[in-house]
Amino acid sequence: YPSPPLIDEIPDDLLSMLSQAVAPRPSLATPQDVPHDVNWLAQQNLPKFEYSAVNSLRGQIRLLRLKKALFRADIVECEVVTTFLGQGQEFQALSYCWGTDGMTDVMLCDGKRINITPSLNAALKTPREARKLQDELLWADAVSINQADETEVSEQIPLMRRIYTEAAGVFVHLGLDGRQLSRGLDLMWRAAAVQQHLTNPAEYGAIDVDEIKWPSQHHPCWEEHFTLFVSPWISRTWILQEIVLANHTSFSVGRYMLEGEVFDRSVHLLDERGLWVPTFLGLPRRLKDSIRKGTLNFNSHQEIKSIARSPKDESLFRLLGATRDFQVTDPRDKVA
């Protein structure tokens, strides 16, 4: 982390300060380049993607290799690759919230059409634009598993523990508009940097946190920071095993990328010192309730990780308590 400057007022233009949240460079297109957008797709007579069977009992899974695109509006295109777990194949796993919009968007797998949710479409476009995961393999449940084959779904779901354990990292798509949260992201980044100095002064240098001039309670960066925890992803039950088993985690907020430790350290510092309290108390009640739930659930991620790594006799009761506020579409998923 860079050495944190004294925080007084955060300027409006913060993008250059987010060294880990790098906006992608535009690709150079020539007049001969044709956008592969929905209009282009409508003119193509492309067949529907047909799944080939995988041997789930032997740990066979499907991975996606994202293809490069010149334009943001370009359809997501990928190559489907099959592999077996336990053979050392490096890949990333995607974690996102499905949403309730249905399979209304389209992507191309091996040049053939497949319907996906808008949330998955956005989740796949983010790493493509940020030049992340290019030429790497990615596991995404809605495409990597044939959702129309109930037998395959029932056989692949038990493999998810191994998938998220063996993945080199988990890429989390929060589904938020980063353009409206840039000041909150900057506050998060700076708080994480301060926490880094406090926990490891020998390596990063000693710092007196009481001398740091934090933004006033009315500065919009606080509310933007809180809004990061309103993402439905944070409160979904299904993501718990994904985040607990992850070897490494990175988050996308709009088109910006942040390492998971930035979230953890910033939340720890701001919560421990109560820096967010004055602003929080002045927020509308509905927003305050959503933020309280989101931050509590985010903090529960750490407790659940601790339980999973050091199971004891009382772990089940602690786990049930830590996950009681997480949501599911089907109540049976709480105990699946």
> What SS3 state is found at 90?
coil
Mean pLDDT value across residues 1-21: 43
- The pLDDT, as a whole number, for residue 60 is 97
Is pLDDT of 307 > 80?
Answer: no
- Alpha carbon 216 to its chain's center: 29
The 3 state secondary structure assigned to 167-208 is CCEEEEECCCCHHHCHHHHHHHHHHHHHHHHHHCHHHHCCCC
The residue type at 171: F
Separation between Cα atoms, residue 98 and residue 100, nearest integer Å: 7
**Tokens encoding 137:** 């393999």
| Per-residue pLDDT at 320 | 62
Q: Answer yes or no: are the C-beta atoms of 83 and 162 closer than 8 Å.
A: no
Tens digits of per-residue pLDDT, 107-116? Answer: 999 999 999 9
pLDDT in tens, 157-191: 999 989 999 999 998 888 887 778 888 888 888 88
* CB 50 within 8 Å of CB 63: no
Residues 43-55 pLDDT 10s: 999 999 999 999 9
Query: What's the pLDDT at 131?
Result: 57
Q: What is the mean pLDDT of residues 31-54?
A: 89
Max mean pLDDT range (3-7, 263-267, 276-280, 312-316): 263-267
Q: Quick one: pLDDT at residue 305?
A: 67
Say how far apart CA 67 and CA 322 lie, in whole Å. 40
Please give the pLDDT value at position 107: 96
Quote the pLDDT of residue 239.
62
Reported as a single tens digit per residue, the pLDDT across 198-215 is 888 888 788 887 778 888
Q: In the chain, where do the E strands start and end? A: 60-66, 77-84, 92-95, 105-109, 112-116, 137-139, 169-173, 249-253, 256-259
Of the candidates 156, 300, 278, 260, the residue with the CA atom closest to the CA atom of residue 214? 278
For 268-297, give the DSSP string: HHHHHTTTTHHHHHTS-HHHHHHHHHHHHH
Q: Percentage of the chain with pLDDT > 70? A: 74
pTM as predicted: 0.78
The pLDDT of residue 18? 43
Cα distance between residue 322 and residue 331, in whole Å: 16
Mean pLDDT, residues 136-141: 91
